[in-house]
Structure formats: C-alpha cells, structure tokens
Amino acid sequence: MSASVRTADRPLPPIPSSSRGPAPPRAFRQNVVHPSRRDSPTRVPRPSARSPRLLSRALKHPGVLAQLLRHTSWQEFHALTSASRDLRQCIAQSQECRDVVFSHFVPGYRLARELSDVEQKSDIAVDFHQLVFLMLSQYVPLHAYPMHAMAVLGAFSRSSTDPQLQRGTARLASLSLAHSRFVLLLQSLVHSGASSPSDSEDFDDSAGSSLRAGLRSPQQRGIRELVFPAPLSTLGNDVDDAISTNTRESIGRRVLSRSGTIRSGFSTARSSSLSPPRTPTKAEVIPRHKGGGMSTFFGRSKVPLPPPSADPRALRQYSGSWRRTISVSKDRHSIPYATDEDGFMAHDLKLPNRRFASVSYSSESSLSSPSSISRTNTESEGSPPARERRRASVGAPLAVPRGTSAHDLFLATSRVRAPVLRVFVPCTDLDEPAIMACEEQLIKGGLWEHLSDGDIVCNFGYVPPLPPPDSPRPLSYAVSNDGGQQRQKWLMFNGYCLVPYIPPSAPPLENPLTLPSPFYFANILPAFVDPVFILALPQDPPSANGRHFSKEPDMQLTNVATRVPSPHSPTGVARVRKYMWLARIAYVGPGSATEAGLALGRGWHGEWVLEAEGTREGRQCLLDALAGNTNGPGLRQRGQWQVVREKSGSGRIWLK
C-alpha cells in the first residue's frame, strides 16, 4: 500500500469543545513562580503619558521642589526643565517656586530675600531664560571676554567678517546683560527693606579697623614713624611760659589753641574726641625747660635762637600743596571742575559730560579688580568649569571665587557698596561711540530705567592698547600717591548718562552726599587709598541737643598721625606725625542744612571732623568752608575733601 493511501485513511483528531473550561493543571501552573525568580526585583511599569504632568504637578509645591534641588545639580535640573514646559511655566508664574530656585542657584539671593520687604515686589522682570544665561556666565572665566574682544578687534582691523566671532560676541553680550540684570534684582531686594539699627556698622568701612590697628602699634608691625615739630608760625615769643611741666598729662599730649597757647589734650572733652588715643612719642616726653625755646630739638645751646618772624620764609613760599587733588591735565576737558588758588570750586558743580574724560592718565582696563585690602586681583580666576562643578547642595559653581573680586555677584547684596554691572562692547578706548554703544546695550536689555546714581558699569570688551616703549610715562595720581599702582577705568551712571570714572578721583556726581556711605566705592578703590569727594559743608548745623554750632568754631592745632607711602619701609608705608588744624561739626543728619537735604545718606550721619594743614592758610581754608561762603545767589562753595579711612568709623567721619 502506498504512503498516500495510508495518510488518507488516518482519522482526524476530535474538534475541541468551547464549553470546556481550562484544565486544572494548567491553571495551577500559572500561579506557580519559579524558585529562581522569587528574589528578583519587581519590574517597573512603563511610564504613561500622564507621568510628566504628575511630576510637574508635584513640583509645583515649594517644599517638594526644595527637596528635589537638594539632590540635584544645575545640569540635571536644567535637563529636567528643558523636557517639561509645565515646570518652566510654573517657575515663571509662581513667586514661591521662583524664590526656591533662585535661592538655590543664584549667589546671594537667599540673603537678599531675608533683607527685603515681603510686601514689596521687584519691578525687574527675570524669567527662567535669564537664569540659564546667568548660570552660563558663572562658568565663563573673566579673561575669556577680553580675549574674544581682541579677536574681534583684530578681525576688524583686517576688514574681515567672521560669523563665528559675531555669534560669540552676541553670546557674551547676553551673558553680561544677564549678570547685570541679577545684580539690579539683588539691589532692588536689598534696598526695599528698612535697615535695622543693628546694621549701623555696615556703613563703616570694613578695612578701617585693620588700618587703625596698624597705626596704633607701628613699632610692632615694622612701620617707620616720623614726627614733625609744631609750626613756627603758631608759636609766640613767650610760648615756653605757657607750657606746663608739672603734670604727666601735659607732657603726654599738647594741643595748641587758636590763640597760640598750648594746653593739655586731656583737659577738655573736645580735644580728646578730635584725635584718637596714641602712645607719646620720644620727642614729646622730653621735658621742656623754661627759656630753652626751640633749642631742645638741637641740644642745650647756650646762645638762644632768634624768634621767628611774622611771616617766615617757609610760609611765604607755601603754595597750598597739602591738599590731595587729582592730577591736573593740560587739556581742560579732562577735568570737569575748575579750582581757584585756594583749592575751592570757582564755579558751581556742573553736570558730568562724558567728553571730558576722553583724555586719561592710564588705559588700564577695569576688568581686573583693584588690589584692595580685602580682595585680590581677578586675574587669578578659578580652574575650568569641569573642576569647579559641585553638587547643587553645596552651591552653584562660580568662575570667580566669592569675595575675591569686585565682579562677584554676592557683593550686590550690600547696601553700602556700589553695584558693578557688565556690558560687552569690544573697543580700544572708552570714547563717545563706545559709551553710546554701552548705553544702547543697556537700553535694549531693559536695564536702563533701573539704574541709580553711582552705579558702576564695567565694559568687559574694553582692551586698552599698550603704550609705545619709547613714550614718556605720564605723571598720575596713582604713581605719586598709590605706590605705583595703575589706575583703572570704569563707567559710572550719574543720573543722566554713563561717564568715565578713574578711581581714586572724585566721582562725577551732582550730589555725592546722597550716596548711602562715604565708602560707597571702596570695592573698586586701590589699596590704602582714601575716597575723595567734591561737596559743600553744612551751614550752621544744629547739634543733637538743639543748640546751633558757633559761627566762629574753636580751631585746635593737634598732633595727628598720617600714613604715607614709603619705599624704604618694610611695609611700604610710614607714619608721619605733624600738627594739623582740626575743627568739629558735632552733628550731621536729617536736620542739618546739607546739600542733600532729606536725601542725605545714612552713612554720612554723625560727627564730622575737619582737618587742614597746620598753617595759617590751612586754618583760613577751614574757616571759609565752615562759613559757607557762596559763589553767587544760591550757589554754595564746594571743595574737594578726602575721607580718611583709618580715622573714620563708629559715627565719626574724618574729612581732610
């Protein structure tokens, strides 16, 4: 039989019945778990389409968002927000969520919120896009800005256009504006809250304590000291008759009154308040005998020296060079104010004009921070971003370490220091076109209407050219008084426009008394340099008890210590003691007749001590300034005054 016949005769299997249920053994096998799979982890279900919405809904709670940020870096959080549009909208719309995110990533924002008024809201609009640019700017080292500016200027000199350079310029400009926006945001938050009485020490200079400590013990710190005798013009023929040698107090400290008589410095409270306590010098503890005269300084000479004439030769040749002023340029446009031979203003203070500063004494860029007392140069930026990255629980990575530069964002939380904003306009000179480009950049960024008087603007694209090696070195204020430090060029908003400002010259402001503190620009001043202002003294200010200051003040000639640069000293400075005329304004505050009126800054409140050279001209300068002489109807006489940092503080401002 063939194979085909056998296949056809084979019976077919029965048709399965649909009514029959599942076999019991098969049902039992479905519930059995293999022994090798009992300890395996549970399989996570695949996310559904509702998972992103559920996550965004959960992160809308500030507490949940804060807990997430504690374990999330900026890179991870940015990736999360880039994938969730609802989360970005939540951060933009919810003030509480925005505060949580900004407090975690923006340096100083948490402190600014604590100092701000919760009822007042800042009018500076900041979105998540600006936060992204700020975080990117924190990774970019400061030297990248001038390096790119040099590449742009080099391409411009070759008349070549590179699209990549143009995109890089636009990117750095956006990063600079984002940093400036957050600087103004922190400033608006800090100034919205009322300062408490415990914050009064913030209006004093932070470096004043170290300077005062250094002056009190010069021998221990290696500071050389030079003591000058009293001026001959203030001593009469019978000066030795007025000297008391019976008490130790009269030997320890002597104060010359207006009439020329010498009285003890500890006898009156006023004389003790005008000069800080000090150790008697060797020249002062030497007993002076009657009839000795000035021979004490040169030994016991048998032949007495002739009495000084009414007008000694030194006084006739005196040219009023004791006042520290800015360097006088040959170009009249380089100085906005003209002074007469007495040192006071010959005309009223004019509004600053940016054309006057086209001639400068130094082309140093302000990108590098001045080497102040509490800061180092910003040339020492940190390592690349890969080495700077840390977990978000520690804080956002910073290209500029905190407290090492005037460009630190955390410094914008101070009420008494000038904020430093950023712009990026590649140029080799801060002339009229460059300044107008900086202003246009701030206007387009929506930051111009938020500027205040005294705000500092740094152009990160300013690359000054190097002077030729055979060119003569210009005489500058920095070379003669700052120990050879170069002067840096900034831009300042004076209330109307941006004008160049070269510290430590007087700021080009209409009324500097409206600044929060006389040390408002201490964060950009060089080390051991005192701020200088052009202002008018109050006229007849009332004291704290309601009594008016005498129109003819009691002038006192006091031995005052002064710090001067010295290349032969181990510390670079020396202490000089010389007799100076001192006058005191007992109270300056809201009730005193100042130029600022009710807008007087809080840091200017308190006692003012005025210092002038211990000569007849110096005394007359103080009398003229206190008398409030005017240059015309409604025009008060202004003068250039230097705030002595080492003697100011604790409610006292020492003006020189």
Q: Which two tokens stand for residue 578?
A: 């010389």
Is a pLDDT exceeding 60 seen at residue 341? no
Q: Report, as an integer, the average pLDDT of 381-407.
A: 51
Same-domain check for residues 184 and 278: no
Considering the chain, what percentage of its residues have pLDDT values greater than 90?
Answer: 23
pLDDT digits (tens, 9 = 90+) for 462-506: 998 877 676 655 443 333 444 444 578 999 999 999 999 999 899
Same-domain check for residues 462 and 567: no
Assess if residue 45 is contained within a domain: no
Q: How far apart are CA 508 and CA 510, in angstroms?
A: 7
- The per-residue pLDDT of the chain, averaged, comes to 69
Assess if residue 21 is contained within a domain: no
**Sequence letter at residue 546:** G
Same-domain check for residues 486 and 519: no
- Choose one of 489, 504, 519: the last residue of a domain: 504
Is a pLDDT exceeding 60 seen at residue 433? yes
Same-domain check for residues 482 and 372: yes
Same-domain check for residues 208 and 253: yes
- Identify the bridge partners of residue 462 per DSSP, sorted by sequence position: 427
Considering the chain, what percentage of its residues have pLDDT values greater than 70?
Answer: 55
Q: Report, as an integer, the average pLDDT of 603-624.
A: 90
- Choose one of 455, 486, 504: the last residue of a domain: 504
Is a pLDDT exceeding 60 seen at residue 348? no
Per-residue pLDDT, 539: 72
DSSP classification of residue 357: G
- What pTM value is reported for the model? 0.65
Print the domain residue range for 374: 136-194+351-379+397-467+475-504
Residues 6+ apart with CB under 8 A from 24: none
Same-domain check for residues 424 and 525: no
Same-domain check for residues 533 and 649: yes
Same-domain check for residues 248 and 178: no
Assess if residue 51 is contained within a domain: no
Same-domain check for residues 344 and 357: no
Pick the range with the lowest mean pLDDT from 43-52, 170-179, 279-288, 354-363: 354-363
Assess if residue 456 is contained within a domain: yes
DSSP classification of residue 323: S
Contact 463, 476 (CB under 8 A): no
Same-domain check for residues 413 and 551: no
Q: Which two tokens stand for residue 327?
A: 């360097």
Is a pLDDT exceeding 60 seen at residue 325? no
DSSP run (H or E) holding 6: helix 3-8
pLDDT digits (tens, 9 = 90+) for 211-225: 444 444 444 455 666
Assess if residue 119 is contained within a domain: no
Alpha-carbon Rg for the chain in angstroms: 36
Tokens 């001209």 -> residue: 617
Same-domain check for residues 500 and 543: no
Assess if residue 249 is contained within a domain: yes
Assess if residue 621 is contained within a domain: yes
Is a pLDDT exceeding 90 seen at residue 179? yes
Assess if residue 71 is contained within a domain: no
Q: Report, as an integer, the average pLDDT of 338-345.
A: 38
Same-domain check for residues 228 and 150: no
Domain count, the chain: 2
Q: Give exposure, 573-607, as e/b (b: 16+ Cβ within 10 Å).
A: bbbbbbbbbbbbbbbbeeebebbbeeebbbbbbbb
Which has the closest alpha carbon to 373: 562, 557, 584, 527? 527
